[in-house]
Structure 1
Amino acid sequence: MSITADFASLTELHSLVQHFYAHQMHHLDERRFEEYAATFTEDGEFQHSPGVEPARGRAGIVDELVRFHKKFDGDPVRRRHWFNQTALDPRPDGTVRSTVYALVVTVRPGGKPEISPSCTVHDVLVLDGGRPALKSRTISHDQVF
C-alpha cells in the first residue's frame, strides 16, 4: 500500500492502524506477550515507563513485559488499554508517526474501575507487506512532568 497525503489513503491507513492497535492491546491485556512482541519489527524498541530503559528486539520486549507484570502475580486485576485520538503522520521515509492518547483501566473483582495511568503513546510504524509493525514505541505518562 502506498502512503500518500490524499484523504482516501489516509482514511484507509487510519482504519488499518486502528485495527492493528485493537488486536495489539488485546494481546497485551490477555498477557499474550509473545503475540504482542510479534507486532514489533525484529529490532523494535519499546519504552513503557518513565526511567525504564527501552526493551530492544522481540525477545527483550517479552522479557520486559514478564518482568513488569510480576507485580500482578496473585492479584486478580484486569487491565484494559484504551487508545483514542490517533493522529497519523506519514513520513517521506515511508514510516508513519502515530501519536495516541491512552488510558489504562484497572479493575479488581467487586471494585470500581480506576484509570491509571493516562498516557501519550508515540509510535513509529512501518508497513511490512501491507501490514503495520512497530519500529518503536515510547510512552509518556501524564502524571510525570
Structure 2
Amino acid sequence: MTVELVGTAEGTLHSRKFAALYAQVQQFYAHQMQILDAHDTDSWSGTFTEDAVLELPSLSEPVRARDGLARYVRAGAARQRRAGSRLDHWVGKLDVHPRADGSLQTRCSALVYLTPSGGGSKVLCAYVMEDVLVRTRGEWRAAHRRVTRDDLA
C-alpha cells in the first residue's frame, strides 16, 4: 500500500512556522536548564516573567516573582555545595501548543540527575513540567510553571 502525502502551500508554511517555533522552545529549555545547573541564578530567574509563578511538589506554597525564584534557586545551590553534590536537569518529550493569545502551553518530562562529588550520576527523580510561555521583549519567558512528580501520578 502506498500512502501519498499531499500538502498545500498554506499547510507547508504552517508546518515550517511550527517547526521553527518548536526549535525555539527546545532552545529555551536547553538554555534554561544549563544556566540552572551552572547556578547562574540571575540569568535563570530572567527566563521567567516578573510576576511568574512556580509550583513545585516539595513546597506547600508556590514561589512567586523573579526575586522569589532567585532566592529559592540560590538556597538550593548552597545546599548542593555543602553536600558536595551536583544536580543536572534533562528535558525531553516536549509538547508545544500555541494558544490564541500568542502564548504557548508546553508540557515535557524533566529528569533530575544527582552526581555526588567523586561519584557516578544517578536519576534522582522524574518530573512533568507544564508551562505557559509568553513573549516578552522578543524572548520566550515562563509565566507559570507547574512541576509534578512523574512517579506519583
TM-score by length of 1: 0.88
| 1:90 counterpart = 2:98 | yes
Pick one of 30, 49, 64 that aligns with 1:41.
49
Superposed CA RMSD: 1.7
**Using the alignment, how far apart are the partners of 2:79 and 2:117 within structure 1?**
17
Q: Give the match for residue 6 of structure 2.
A: none
Alignment of 1:1-145 (within 5 A): 6-145=14-153
Q: Which letter does structure 2 place at the counterpart of 1:27?
A: I
Residue 130 of structure 1 and its aligned partner are, at CA, apart by: 3.4
Output the CA distance in 2 between the equivalents of 1:78 and 1:68. 10
Q: Distance in 2 between matches of 1:109 and 1:118?
A: 21
Distance 1:67 1:48 in 2: 15
Amino acid at match of 1:28: L
Whole-angstrom distance in 1 between the partners of 2:18 and 2:147: 24
Q: Structure 1: which 5+ residue stretches go unaligned?
A: none
Q: Which has the higher helix share?
A: 2
- Note the alpha carbon deviations across 1:21-76, whole angstroms, 9 max, x for none: 11111111011111110000111111233443111110011112223344324222
Q: Which runs of 5+ in 2 are unaligned?
A: 1-12
Larger Rg: 2
